[in-house]
Structures are given as C-alpha cells and as structure tokens.
Chain A
Amino acid sequence: MERSLVERLIAKPELGPLVLLVLLLAVFTAINPAFMSAQNISNAFTFTVELGLIALAMTLLMTSGEFDLSVGSVFGFSAVLMWTLFNTGLMPMGVAFLAAMAMAMFIGWVNGMLVTKEGIPSFLVTLGMLLVVRGTALYTTQGFPQNTWRAEDQWLAEVLVGDVTIFGLRLYMSMFWFALAAIVTHYVLTQTKVGNWIQASGGNSNAARARGVPVNRVKIILFMFSSAMAAFAGIISSIRTQAANPNSGTGYELEVIAMVVIGGTVLTGGRGTIIGTVLGIFILRFMRNGIVMIGVPGLAYNIFIGGIILAMMVLHNRIERRHMTGT
C-alpha cells in the first residue's frame, strides 16, 4: 500500500534528531533571544564545523561497524607536525600540509590493518593508537605549542580558513569544506556501490564477504579517511586559533561519537545517516552554546551538558522505537 508523505516522513531516521534540534533552538531562543543573533550563530558555527568534519568520516566508519578513538590525538598531532615542518624551514607550507595529511592516512592505515588483519577490536586498536599519537606529539614538542603566526601571508591558510562577513554573520571557509564533505559523504553512502559495501560490511560482514564485498579494504580505507579528516580539521583549527598545541583534540573522539549516535547512526554498524549526523553535530554544539547563553553557572556547565545528553538519548530512543514498531 502506498504510504502518505507524512508517514514516509515519520519513517525517516532523521526525524528524531530534527525534532530535537528544533526543540532545542526554540527553548534557547525563548529564554534568550540573543541565542539566534548573527554574532552568536557565527561563534557557534566556527568550531562546530571543525568537529563536524571528523563526525562525517566517523559516520561512515561506524556504519561499517568500526569506530576510531584516535581521531582526537590525530587532530592535535597533525597540526603540530605541519607547523613543526614549516616553522623549522624544512618544507613550504603546502608540502608540510601534504606531509601531515599523508602521516595521518598512514596512522589510519595502521589502525585498519590491525583491525582487519589481526582481528583486534577497533576499540582496543584505536585506544592504543590514541596514546601512541598523543605521546608522540607531546614528546616531540616537549609539551610546547607551535606558533602559527606566520600563517597570515600563506595562500593555503586563506583557502582553508579565510573568512567572509555576510549580513553580520562571519563565515569561515571551513563552513564550505564542511558542506562539501557532507554532500560528498551523503552521496557516497546513499547513492553508490561503495555506500552499499559500507552498510553491508557493518550489517553482516560474513554475508557481505560471501557476496563479494571487499570488507577489509572498505574498512581500511574508512580508517584512513577518518584519520585524514581528523588531520584536516586539526590543521584548519590550528590556523584559525593561531596555535598548534600537542594537547589539542583531547576528548573529541567521544564528542564526535556522541554526535554520530544522536544523529541516528547505529553504534553497532549497518545503518548510518549523514543528514542525521549533521543534525547531531548541530544539536550537541548548539546545546553547549545555548546553556551558556541562558546563563547556566560556569561550573555547573557539565551537569547540564550530561543531563541534556541523557534526556536527548532517551527521547531519541523512544522516537526510534516508535519508528521500528510503525506507530
């Protein structure tokens, strides 16, 4: 039987996060109208899209049934590596950027090889890699941040984080990169054979193998993509904040996984949604911004963040269950 438009809309996994986002925006705006001011939206977007780049790649990886805890350390390490190579005069900025990206992809390749060839769970492999990469960043810099002041005259810095102000809204180039990455990853996941392979690898990897899906190759490439996006985001962030700190990115892995799960991607793999992840990214970051805007005391911040995440997960779970039962 043909389903109505409303029924089809309700059946979408993105409906839950969309309802949550609208609810969140409405409540925060009602309490403090300045929440929706151009100034605040501009602030909130700035950092959101940098984390969002990692979340998009993580969505694909989690859909394939794996996840990567080393993204936060790669975020910090890649920027440190690029700026060290550049500041010491070893390489021009463009080459240093490519070297840092290549190193990140190598880290992802090692993660992928250990998970697929050695059969070690990705949780353990990437937890170990998190420590190796973070430790390397700290040891090589002796804990000191790399200055990025010389980025101002570099064309690459302009391409990555140049900004433009439209109607009082300051938008960085990273917004463009995020939008482009979201469109491409959405297209890959929903419209291509590779997208089918990713979902099949996460759904039932043995059945997928039996049907000729190169499960191991898919996962290795996704680990490399995940690391590359973390490095890209870290480098963008380091240019914007004018600092490359070896501690940067600490805890980002959990925040990114939360964004992906809130968006509707299944933690155990097999089903993922980029649109949902984009909504999840905005839900988490606007929530963080919103509770400051409504005047929650500074040191009570984490109580509210944790409480709202729990409440959202319960709400999300209930909406999801209603989808499944078709009510």
Chain B
Amino acid sequence: MSAPISAWWAKGWAQYLVDKKLVKDGDFIWMPVEVPGATYGVQEEAGASTVLKPMNITWEVTDNTLDQAEVINRMADYLTANRAKIKAIIGLGDLVTGSIKRVFDQVGVKAGEIPVVGWGNSTDTTQEVLNGYVNAAQWQDPHATSYMALSLAAMASGGIPPGFDIITGALYEKDTAGVYDKILSGG
C-alpha cells in the first residue's frame, strides 16, 4: 500500500528544502500545526521525517489551535523564543502557513529571512508566496482529488486495473502562485 497523500506531500516539502539547499545536516526545522494528533499533521510529520531523519535534521511540532488570533499569538511567541535556531519552517496546515506574514511582521522577521514551505490552499498563502514570505506552497484540487479517484474506481470495476498514479496537486512557487491565487479567489 502506498503512503497516504498527506505524507507524500510533506515528503515533497522536506525534499524541496533539501534540494534548494535551504537546510543542511544537523539543522532544526519548526513545524507548526493547528491540531496536534489530527491525522493530517501526523501523516505529514511522518512523511517529512523520511527525508529529514537520514540527514540528522531535527524538528519540533507545536500546537497552535484553530483560532486565528491564538495561532498568531502562539507562533509569534515560539518564533521570538527560537528565532536563532530555526533554519526553516514547514507549515503543516493552511491556517498556520497562511499566518506566516502576520507572524513575521509581528516578530520583525523579513520576508525570505527564514525559508517556509507547507500547505497553500488559501489566498493568504498564495499572497505570501507572491510577496516572498513563503518559498513554496502546496495546492491540492479538492474536486479533482475526489472525482479522479472515482474514475480510477470505475475503471477498476470495469476490469482495467489502475496502473498509474494521478497527481491532483502542485507545489507552487512565486512564478505560478498567481494561477492558484486566481483559482482560490474564485476567478
């Protein structure tokens, strides 16, 4: 059985940081999440760990709640306390990644000073990518994720075994963020 999709995406985020030489052996990565213990965060941490562990990169997952004000407050506290040791941030949820600009502004961190990658299914994050606060963010098409799977199931029931993967998302950077910003804005 293949890894869950969340783990697959997060493996890509960690690999992005390594490939772009944004982190190196022994570095520390901060992974804020809204609800620790929820399936998405757990799977994402597991996915990222497959890349980070072999490089002796350590990380910490922090609890930030689902409340925007509390998210910004907790993230600002953590960043103030650990700014020197954080070499990169992986946002395990949309709310935390979409709060990066407000947290950086509050703590006085410049856009791009700390590399950030993670979920990007909100206009907050597309704007952060466009403005350089987030290096790369994950888009996952909610409709395609469902109906492509149904198409595969229909094929399978018709006797055609699915022999391929269908990717229904993309890790976007500044050059393509406008496309996702338009989609998420309903344009």
Contact B81 A39 (CB under 8 A): no
CB atoms of A247 and B66 under 8 A apart: yes
Contact with A along B68-79 (1 / 0, CB 8 A): 111011101110
Whether B106 and A292, one on each chain, are in contact in the complex, defined by CB atoms closer than 8 angstroms, is: no
Q: Is the CB of B73 within 8 A of A47?
A: yes
Contact B66 A32 (CB under 8 A): no
- Which of B65, B77, B107 lies in contact with A289, CB distance below 8 A? B77
B60: CB under 8 A from chain A?
Answer: yes
Taking a contact as CB atoms closer than 8 A, the residue among B66, B70, B108 that contacts A47 in the complex is B70
**Cβ–Cβ < 8 Å partners of B67 in chain A:** 245, 247-251
Contact B36 A43 (CB under 8 A): no
Interface membership of chain B positions 37-74, coded 1 if the CB is closer than 8 angstroms to chain A and 0 otherwise? 00000000000000000000000111101111110111
Q: Tell me whether B80 is interfacial, beta carbon within 8 Å.
A: yes
CB nearest neighbor in B for A145? B68
Which residues of the other chain, A, contact B174 by a CB distance below 8 angstroms?
none
| Contact between B102 and A293, CB atoms less than 8 A apart | no
A298 touches B78 (CB 8 A): yes
What's the nearest-Cβ distance from chain A to residue B152, in Å? 29
Interface residues of B in 98-142 (CB under 8 A from A): 102, 106-108, 123-124
Bound CA span A112–B171, Å: 52
Task: State A298–B59 Cα separation when bound (angstroms).
Answer: 11
- Which of B66, B67, B77 gathers the greatest number of chain A CB atoms within 10 Å? B67
Closest B residue by C-beta to A293: B81
The docked-state distance in angstroms from the alpha carbon of A204 to that of B102 is 48
Alpha-carbon distance A241/B69, docked complex (angstroms): 6
Contacting pair B80 A43 (CB below 8 A): yes
Which of chain B's residues have a CB closer than 8 A to the CB of A301? Answer: 62-63
A300 to chain B, nearest CB (A): 10
Q: Interface size for chain A: under 10, 10 to 19, 20 to 34, or 35 or more residues?
A: 35 or more
| A323 interfacial by beta-carbon distance below 8 Å | no
B72 contacts A241, C-beta separation under 8 Å: yes
Q: How far is the CA of A245 from the CA of B95 in the complex (A)?
A: 11
When the two chains form their complex, are residues A298 and B68 in contact, meaning their CB atoms are under 8 A apart?
Answer: no
Bound state CA distance, A288 and B69, in angstroms?
14
Give the distance to chain A from B100, nearest Cβ to Cβ, in Å: 13
With an 8 A cutoff between CB atoms, is A299 at the interface?
yes
Closest residue on chain A to residue B108 by CB atoms: A39
Min distance, Cβ B18 to any Cβ of chain A, angstroms: 23
A34 interface residue (CB < 8 Å to B): yes
> Shortest distance in angstroms between B134's beta carbon and chain A's nearest beta carbon?
16
Residues of A within 8 A of B106 (CB): 43, 46, 170
Q: What separation, in Å, do the CA atoms of A168 and B68 have in the docked complex?
A: 25
Contacting B at CB under 8 A, from A264-284, are none
* Contact indicator B68/A39 (Cβ below 8 Å): no
Bound complex: CA A147 to CA B108 (Å) = 23
Chain B positions within 8 Å of A147 at CB level: 123
User: Which chain A residues numbered 31 to 48 have a C-beta less than 8 Å away from chain B?
Assistant: 32, 34, 37, 39-40, 43-44, 46-47
Chain A 240-266, CB within 8 Å of chain B: the 1/0 string? 111101011111000000000000000
Whose C-beta in chain B lies nearest to the C-beta of A291? B77
The interface residues of chain B lying within 8 Å CB-to-CB of A44 are 77
Q: How far is the CB of B109 from chain A (nearest CB, A)?
A: 11
CB contact list, B16-34 vs A, under 8 A: none
* Chain B residues, Cβ within 8 Å of A241: 68-69, 72, 102
Does the CB pair A292–B63 fall under 8 Å? no
Q: A63 near B: Cβ within 8 Å?
A: no
Q: Please, which residue of chain B has its CB at the minimum distance from the CB of A47?
A: B73
Collect the chain B residues with CB atoms within 8 Å of residue A249's CB.
67
In the complex, are the beta carbons of A242 and B102 less than 8 A apart? Answer: yes
With A43-B107, A46-B106, A299-B61: A293-B77 Cβ-Cβ less than 8 Å: yes
Contact of B63 with A288 in the complex, beta carbons under 8 Å: no
Question: Which 5 A/B pairs are nearest by Cβ-Cβ distance?
Answer: A298-B62, A47-B73, A292-B77, A243-B68, A293-B81
A-B contact pairs, 6 of them (CB 8 A): A34-B81, A39-B80, A147-B123, A241-B72, A245-B66, A250-B67
B-side residues, CB < 8 A to A, are: 36, 60-63, 65-70, 72-74, 76-78, 80-82, 102, 106-108, 123-124
